[in-house]
Structure formats: C-alpha cells, structure tokens
Amino acid sequence: MRILAIDVGTGTQDILLFDSAQTLENALQLIMPSPTQIAAGRIRRATEGGRAVFLTGAVAGGGPCHWALEDHLRAGAPAFATHEAAATFDDDLENVERMGVTLVSEDEAKSLDAQRVELRDVNLDAIRIALAAFDVDTDFDALALGCLDHGAAPPGYSDRLFRFDHLRHVVEKRNDLRAFAFRPEELPALRIIPHEVGILQDFLASPYHVGKTS
C-alpha cells in the first residue's frame, strides 16, 4: 500500500510517501513552504510592484498570508477578495471590509487590474509534479491530510480560544489521537479544505483520511 501523507502547517507542509513494500526509514519526504507562505509571498511581490491583489479560492489557513495582506493594505495598495476567500482573514466579513478589503464576485473581478492570488491548503498537482520529476510513481492507494483549523468562532469569541476549547472538549470526551481523524463524510465542517474535496475524490479511488481538529 502506498499512502501520501501531508501535514499542512503554518511555515511548511511536510509530505511523506509511505510504501509498505519499503522500510519506513526509506519513505520519501518533502518539506516545502506551506500554502499560506506561498500566498504571502505572492501578495508581498504584488505590494512591492505597487499592484492590487485579488484573493480567490477557498477558506484557507491564515497567519503569513494574513500578515502579508495587512502590510499590503498599510502600503496603500488595493485588495479585493471573493466572499469565500475573505473568510480566511475573519469569519465576520464586515471585519475584513474594515481592514480595507473590497469584496467582489468572480464576475466582478474579471474587470480588475490585479494580481490574482488563489488561496488553498492542498495543491496535489504541484506535489505530483515534484515527485514525477524524480521518477516517483504518483499513483497512491490512500491520502492522509493533517491540518489545524480554528473553525468558525461565534461573534466575539476569539478564534484562538475557540480552537483550544474545542481541543479540550475532544480530548475530554475521548483521550485518543484517533478522535481527530475523520473520513471526508465525517467532517463536522469543511473549513480547511472545502473546494479540494472534489479534487481528492477524483485523485483517489480508495478512501482517504483527514486529520482535523474542528
């Protein structure tokens, strides 16, 4: 069995290809910039070039891309975002607008002169290309994703506190790491990888697992 495991973090995405026909010590590993770091770099290059940015895609991990967007806006450069992408920066879209981001639809964005930045947490095409460059077979039996999502906190509830409270509730209910593992249909809410699910289902014929905390 061959399992592609991806741990999506703030700074890096750690990728391991497990093959039951090999010893674990020989499992292929990649440590690459995280999706939010990649998005942050694209935003910062737009800032340096004095260009507007248009943020599209899905609700994704924030952190670096959030900080880059704040710097972009402080520099006086325009920023636009779809409603879904904007939720990356705050569950309350009014707060995103108060940051200085203009919310637009994909159709409205067609007339914008802006650098397009797609927000996502999984880019399987890029991983397959990287593996194929080293003659690694890119057919897998299963896919395991690990990510930490703060969920959609109620208004006035700190995202960070909401996350920690949720972790505590899960551990108190079942003190087992498997309590954080879900099949796609079991996920309470697809917040980290919402629009990637179709890609994953097409990518694998067999079930895959997502390790998630909310």
- Position 152 scores a pLDDT of 73
Greatest CA separation for the chain: 55
Model-level pTM? 0.81
Look at domain 37-119 and name its CATH class: alpha beta
pLDDT at 208 over 90: no
* Same fold? 2-35+121-211, 37-119: no
By the 10 Å C-beta count (0-12 exposed, 13-18 middle, 19+ buried), 141 is classed as middle
The structural domains of the chain, with segments of one domain joined by +, span 2-35+121-211, 37-119
The token pair that represents 29 in the structure block: 């590993």
Indicate the average pLDDT of the chain: 85
Second CATH level (architecture) for the domain 2-35+121-211: 2-Layer Sandwich (3.30)
pLDDT confidence tier of residue 76, bands split at 50, 70 and 90: very high
Q: At 28, phi and psi to the nearest 5? A: -70, 140
pLDDT at 133 over 90: yes
Q: 59 with 88: CB under 8 angstroms?
A: yes
pLDDT-above-90 percentage for the chain: 57
The token pair that represents 50 in the structure block: 């004095």
pLDDT-above-70 percentage for the chain: 85
